[in-house]
Amino acid sequence: MEPVRLQKYIASCGVASRRAAEKLIEEGRVSVNGQIVTEQGVKVTPKDKVMLDGKPIKPEGKKVYIMLNKPEGYICAVSDDRERPCVVDLIEGIEERIFPVGRLDYDTTGLLLLTNDGEFMQSLTHPSYEIWKTYRAVVKGTPNEKNVEDFARGIELEDGKTEPAVLEVVGYKGKNAIVEVSIKEGRNRQVRRMLEAINHRVIKLKRVKIGGLELGDLKTGAWRYMKERDFKDLMGSQN
Ligand code: URA
């Protein structure tokens, strides 16, 4: 095998995305042949002994790609210091070390991808790929036409104006509305904050689509391996 950059090698071990691997290196958590490495340019081959936090890491063999319908009450992580349930606990019977691609809040449900392929994760979460994500929300009250236009222009949030987004009222539930929101970014609690900014607090939030890949009839808490068709859908557009 040709020598590869250390961050790419770490990503191929399924322990972090390439960007997260750069941070691990910067933080002095990675060693090569017993030597802590903090610069980014170093190249390695599988003959080198690479360790993360003192534990050896090796490139993953088989790559796995999973779709999960995340229930409420799970955090998108592989472990939690507050001992809350983690989404990976729901994926039983697989040996590969997988991690969630991006995040859904503890109380958000719906489509979540998990993989041991750091490159795949990097490509999906990097802002330059601009993959649309669609959420279905129950909100207080009913957004109006002006709100829809405001979303299309971008909403001013405390961490800056968002990219243009799509807001559509698709139904009603008593005094509340059911809306679909599509965004390209992935800021923390972004959909909740955007809807709060137009005075329609979120009561329930579910991700129903990533790119053109739909959650479909996957039951809450259930998962399945992605099929070839799913990858095509994922990269297809939805708006
Ligand atoms: N936006 C949110 O507000 N929450 C999520 O979980 C995902 C997107």
Residues 230 and 206 in one domain: no
- Among residues of the chain, what percentage have pLDDT more than 70? 98
Q: What ranges in 27-163 are assigned the alpha helix state H?
A: 118-125, 145-153
108 CB within 6 A, ligand 1: yes
Mean pLDDT of the chain: 92
CA distance 148 to 50: 51
Same-domain check for residues 202 and 220: no
| Helix, coil or strand: residue 125 | helix
Q: Residues 117, 220: one domain?
A: yes
**190 and 162 Cβ atoms separated by less than 8 Å:** yes
Do residues 37 and 146 share a domain?
no
Amino acid identity, position 56 = P
The Å distance, Cα 102 to ligand 1 centre, comes to 10
Distance 2 CA to ligand 1 centre (A): 40
Quickly count: other Cβ atoms within 10 Å of residue 224's Cβ.
12
Contact 123, 129 (CB under 8 A): yes
Domain of 195, CATH number, reads 3.30.70.1560
Is 105 labeled as catalytic in the residue annotation? yes
What is the percentage of the chain residues whose pLDDT exceeds 90? 75
Helix, strand, or coil (residue 170): strand
Active-site pick, 105, 107, 150, 230 = 105
* Domain CATH number, residue 37: 3.10.290.10
210-224 residue pLDDT tens: 999 999 999 999 999
| DSSP designation for 229 | H
Is 184 a residue whose pLDDT tops 60?
Answer: yes
Q: How many domains does the chain have?
A: 3
